[in-house]
Amino acid sequence: MVKIVFSVIGLLACLFIRTKEGSAYLLDPDCAVSRIRGKIMGGRDTDILSNPWMVLVIAPTLETGVKFCGGSLITYRFVLTAAHCIKDGPMKVRLGEYDNQYHMKDCSSGICIPRYFIVDVDRKMTHKEYNGHKNDIGILRMSEIIPYSDFVRPICILIDEEMGNVPLFSVTGWGGTRTSDSSKVLQVATLENFDRNQCAESLQSEFDVGHICAGSYTSDSCNGDSGGPLSAVRTYEGHNRTFQYGIVSFGLHSCGGLGVYTNVTHFTGFILRVLEYLRNT
């Protein structure tokens, strides 16, 4: 999945964007305080504690038997992912995963965390106007309430406020790397925020405010990363928190250059409506 060309100091300076507090509020006030510590294509292993909202989405397919996607925990019972990752038939999600080669406790980074756990999905909804490259967003409801810990905690989603322009994003996933179709260890990459017109020209497709165009000359999201979060760290209520800006949607077959992400800020109304509906059904 991603090669990092920015210094650690430069990365931290660019990823931390200050949030103006006012009428805006967090979807879940217990969303994770960032733990940035100094293979998505061209990427590097992420810190074992830095992405507790990462979810592996598992869906059945006729072609390969199973499809893996990324997702993000957004509340104690709901996972945000791409609509194209949601399939008919029974689906599951894996939470608390970092290195999927470990079968007991994961101590691969010198810090031990419990083994990931699997939860059934009992409801799933996609945007009613999803048509492949547009409105590529969906929500999964887990069959049980998930207790939060240092290893499982939701990413922040800001409601009722535009999050403004961000120069750099992070993207995480277990998808393809330069040497493998998938990565055992969760990868992180740094991507630049590009004008949507650049993606429109490069990918020969139409783009609007529901999309984010991001990429790098050295890194990109790739196969298996779909549905995962595009994020940036912002200061909010005195803490540096990781906010989700986008969802991995599609890009070049080469997994290099530019990629397209569903703009989460544009769909917060959809998220709120779905959560309210699924809480009551």
Rounded to whole angstroms, the Cα distance separating 105 from 98 reads 11
Per-residue pLDDT for 97 more than 90? no
Region 174-183: mean pLDDT is: 56
Provide the pLDDT for residue 38.
33
- Is the pLDDT score of 44 beyond 80? no
Instruction: Pinpoint the alpha helices (H) of the chain.
Output: 8-15, 196-203, 268-279
Confidence of residue 100 (pLDDT cuts 50, 70, 90): low
> What pTM was computed for the model?
0.82
**Per-residue pLDDT, 161:** 79
Classify the phi-psi angles of 217: left when phi > 0, otherwise alpha if psi is within -120 to 50, otherwise beta.
alpha
pLDDT tens, position by position, 51-87:
899 999 999 887 777 889 999 999 999 999 999 999 9
Q: Which two tokens stand for residue 207?
A: 């783009």
Predicted confidence (pLDDT) per residue in 207-261, tens digit: 899 999 998 766 545 555 789 999 999 888 888 899 999 999 987 655 567 889 9
Helix, strand, coil % in the chain, rounded to nearest 5:
10, 35, 50
Higher pLDDT, 42 or 148: 148
Give the pLDDT of residue 78. Answer: 98
* Location of structure tokens 């980074």: 109
pLDDT tens digit string along 238-248? 888 999 999 99
Q: Tell me the C-alpha distance between 126 and 133, whole Å.
A: 13
Q: How far apart are CA 262 and CA 212, in angstroms?
A: 6
What percent of the chain has pLDDT above 70? 72
- Please state, in angstroms and rounded to a whole number, the distance separating the CA atoms of residues 278 and 280: 5
What domains are defined for the chain? 8-29+39-44+156-266 (2.40.10.10), 53-154+268-279 (2.40.10.10)
Computed over every residue of the chain, the mean pLDDT equals 79
Name the token pair of 22.
């006012």
Q: How much is the pLDDT for 39?
A: 34
pLDDT winner (highest mean) among 154-163, 246-255, 267-276: 267-276
Query: Looking at residue 180, what is its pLDDT?
Result: 46
**pLDDT exceeds 60 at position 7:** no
Query: 92-106, 162-176, 187-201, 253-267: which has the minimum mean pLDDT?
Result: 92-106
Give the E-state strand segments of 65-148 in sequence order: 67-73, 78-81, 92-95, 117-126, 138-142
Mean pLDDT for 175-185 is 57
Report the alpha-carbon distance of residue 114 to residue 204 in Å, rounded.
Answer: 44
Helix (H) or strand (E) holding 209: none
Bigger pLDDT: 253 vs 170 = 170
Catalytic residues: 84, 136, 226
Band (281; pLDDT cuts 50, 70, 90): confident
pLDDT category of residue 36 using cuts at 50, 70 and 90: very low
| pLDDT the model gives residue 140 | 98
- Residue range 116-134: mean pLDDT, rounded: 93
